């Protein structure tokens, strides 16, 4: 019986922790001045949200969020950053 009670409390503790980590990552992405760090933090945010979806039972949505949100979007943001100039020519 003790193992069953611990098993039910595990996800109940994980979900609020993932929510807090997602909010912290989002706020950090908004506050950071470096665009590459902001892109990395947005990928971290998306991956944490994917874990949150999986913890809530929507595994297919979590997998989609991990692939598209953290993977493809993160790579596209980094590639776009490397194709732009950091300083203006003025």
pLDDT reading at 5 higher than 60 = no
Q: What is the pLDDT of residue 70?
A: 87
Mean pLDDT of the chain: 86
pLDDT reading at 32 higher than 70 = yes
pLDDT reading at 86 higher than 90 = no
What is the average pLDDT across 18-37?
Answer: 94
**57 dihedral zone (left: phi>0; alpha: psi -120 to 50; beta):** left
Q: Which residue has the tokens 């953290």?
A: 70
Alpha carbons 46 and 74: distance in angstroms, whole number: 9
pLDDT reading at 4 higher than 80 = no
49 closest CA partner among 33, 36, 67: 67
């Amino acid at each position: 019986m003790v193992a069953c009670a611990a098993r039910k409390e595990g996800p109940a503790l994980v979900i609020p922790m993932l929510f807090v980590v997602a909010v912290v990552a989002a706020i950090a992405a908004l506050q950071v001045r470096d665009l590459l760090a902001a892109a990395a933090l947005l990928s971290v945010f998306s991956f944490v949200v994917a874990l949150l979806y999986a913890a809530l039972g929507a595994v297919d949505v979590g997998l989609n969020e991990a692939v598209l949100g953290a993977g493809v979007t993160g790579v596209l943001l980094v590639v776009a950053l490397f194709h732009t100039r950091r300083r203006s020519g003025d």
